[in-house]
Structure 1
Amino acid sequence: MEKKSSCHVILFFLHDFDIRLKNERGSCSAGHIEEKATKLLGAQTHIWNNILSFINSMTLKCAVDLSIPDIIHKYGQPMPLSQLVASLPIHPSKTCFIYRLMRVLINSGFFDLQKIPAENDTELVGYVLTDASMLLLRDHPLSMASLFPALLDTCFFKPWLQVSTWFTNEDPTPFHTENGTNMWDYLMQDPKLSHLFNDAMACESRFVSNLVIEKCKGVFEGLESLVDVGGGTGSMAKVIANSFPGINCIVFDLPHVVAGLQPTHENINFVGGDMFQAIPSADSILLKWILHDWNDEDCVKILNKCKEAITSHGKVIIIEIVMENEKEEHLKKETQLFLDMQMMVYVTGKERNEKEWTNLILSGGFSNFKITPALGLYSLIELYP
Structure 2
Amino acid sequence: MASSNGRKASEIFQGQALIYRHMFAFIDSMCLKTIIELGIPDIIHKHGQPITLSELVSILHVPPARVGHVQSLMHYLSHHRFFESVRIHEKEAYALTAASELLVKSSELSLAPMVEYILDPTLSASFHQMKKWVYEEDLSVFDISLGCSLWDFLNKNPAYNESFNEAMARDSQMSNLALRDCKLVFEGLESIVDVGGGTGATARMISEAFPDLKCVVLDRPHVLENLSESNNLTYVGGDMFKSIPKADAVLLKWILHDWTDKDCIKILENCKEAISSNNGKRGKIIVIDMVIQEKQDEHKVTELKLLWDVAMACVLNGKERNEEEWKKLFMEAGFQDYKISPLTGFLSLIEIYP
* Both proteins in one fold, TM over 0.5: yes
| Kept in 1: contact 2:293–2:322 (CA 8 A) | yes
TM-score, length of structure 2 as denominator length: 0.94
Is structure 2 residue 162 aligned with structure 1 residue 195?
yes
Equivalent position of 1:161 in the other structure: 128
Structure 1 residue runs of 5 or longer lacking an equivalent are 1-10, 22-34, 118-122
Q: Given that residues 141 and 315 in structure 2 are in contact (C-alpha distance below 8 angstroms), is that contact kept between their aligned partners in structure 1?
A: yes
How many residue pairs match? The answer is 350
Q: Encode CA deviations 1:38-90: one digit per residue, 9 max, x unaligned.
A: 22222211110111111111101100111101101211222110000011155
Moved runs in structure 1, 4+ residues, more than 6 A?
none
**Which amino acid counterpart does residue 41 of structure 1 have in structure 2?**
F
Kept in 1, the 8 Å contact 2:341–2:348? The answer is: yes
Please name the residue that 1:279 is paired with: 244
Q: Secondary structure at the match of 2:112?
A: coil
The 3-state SS of whatever aligns with 1:100 is helix
SS, match of residue 283 in structure 2: strand
Q: In the alignment, does 2:71 pair up with 1:99?
A: yes
Residues 92 and 242 (structure 1), Cα distance of their counterparts in 2 relative to 1, 3 Å cut: farther
Of 37, 62, 65, the match for 2:37? 65
Q: Quote the Cα distance in structure 1 between the aligned partners of 2:8 and 2:330.
A: 50
Secondary structure of the equivalent of 1:277? coil
Q: CA RMSD in A?
A: 1.8
Q: Which residue of 2 aligns with 1:345?
A: 314
- Once the two structures are superposed, the pairs formed by residues 1-385 of structure 1 within 5 Å of their partners are 36-88=8-60, 90=62, 94-117=66-89, 123-214=90-181, 216-263=182-229, 265-310=230-275, 311=278, 312-385=281-354
C-alpha distance in 2 between matches for 1:371 and 1:164: 35
Report SS of the residue matched to 1:369: strand
Residue 251 of structure 1 aligns to a residue whose secondary structure is: strand
- By how many angstroms is 1:144 displaced? 1.0
> How far apart, CA to CA, are the structure 2 residues paired with 1:184 and 1:93?
44
Taking the aligned partners of 1:170 and 1:43, their CA distance within structure 2 comes to 32
Q: Indicate conservation of the 8 Å contact 2:261/2:329, yes or no.
A: yes
| AA in 1 matched with 2:345 | G
User: What is the letter of the counterpart of residue 321 of structure 2?
Assistant: R
* CA distance in 1: counterparts of 2:158 and 2:189, whole angstroms: 36
Residues 286/190 of structure 1: CA separation in 2 closer, same or farther (3 Å cut): same
Deviates more, 1:303-312 or 1:356-365: 303-312
The question of whether the paired residues in 1 share the 8 Å contact of 2:138 and 2:317 is answered with no
8 Å CA contact retained: 1:304, 1:365: yes
Alignment partner, residue 6 of structure 1: none
Cα deviation code 1:274-321 (max 9, x no counterpart): 111111111111000111111111111111111111134211100010
Q: Which moved more, 1:78-87 or 1:95-104?
A: 95-104
Seen in structure 2, the aligned counterparts of structure 1 residues 190 and 92 have a Cα distance that, compared at 3 Å, is farther
Aligned to 1:7: none
Q: Which amino acid aligns with 2:106?
A: D
Q: Is the contact made by 1:159 and 1:345 (CA closer than 8 Å) also made in structure 2? A: no
SS of 2:129's partner is: helix
- The percent identity for this pair of structures is 44
Alpha-carbon spacing, 1:171–1:361, altered in 2? closer, same or farther (3 Å): closer
Deviation per residue, 1:151-200 (Å, 9 max, x gap): 11123212211111111233521221111111100111111011111111
Give the SS at the match of 2:93: strand
Q: 1:70 to 1:294 in 2, by over 3 A?
A: same
Does the 8 A contact of 1:78 with 1:125 survive in 2?
A: no
Counterpart residue type for residue 203 of structure 2 = A
